[in-house]
Every structure is written in C-alpha cells, then in structure tokens.
Amino acid sequence: MSEDPVREKRAKILRFSVLAKRIGYIFLLISIVLVGIGAVNRFTPGIATSATIFFFVALALLMPAIILGYAVAKAEREDPLTAR
C-alpha cells in the first residue's frame, strides 16, 4: 500500500520549511553580529552592505518558511485521517 500523496507533499514542504528556518535564523544571527561589530568598531561600507544582505536573505527565507510550517501543521490537525 502506498503512502498518501497529500501527506507526502506535506512532509516535503515541512522538510523545506525546517531547513529554510535554520538557514534563515543563521543568516539573521550573522547580520546581528555584523551590526554589533560595526557598532563597536567603525561602520564600514562593507560591514553595512554585508549586514543588509544577510538580513534581507534571512527575511526572504524565513517569511515563506514560517507561513508554510504553520500551514502544514494546521492541515495535519484538520486532516481526518491523522486525527486521533
């Protein structure tokens, strides 16, 4: 008997969501560290540019990952086959 294709797709989306959140939060941490380095030392254009790029990449990863993670969790809760 094969696995339900809808549940397989949900699992794939959830795996993407978890990975994107991990990478996004790492990039956000790097951005915060760069801003801290810039605050302690002089803000150079390189530090400011790097912090900005890491911040926007983190946002681009985290926004869809968080939304998709909540969507999959809600779909699993409402699925009559998984409700026990």
pLDDT tens-digit map of 21-66 = 999 999 999 999 999 999 999 999 999 999 999 999 999 999 999 9
Contact at 8 Å (CB) between 20 and 62? yes
Token representation of residue 44: 């150079």
Q: How far is CA 61 from CA 6, 15, 22, in A?
A: 24, 13, 9
- pTM: predicted TM-score of the whole model, two decimal places: 0.83
DSSP type of residue 80: T
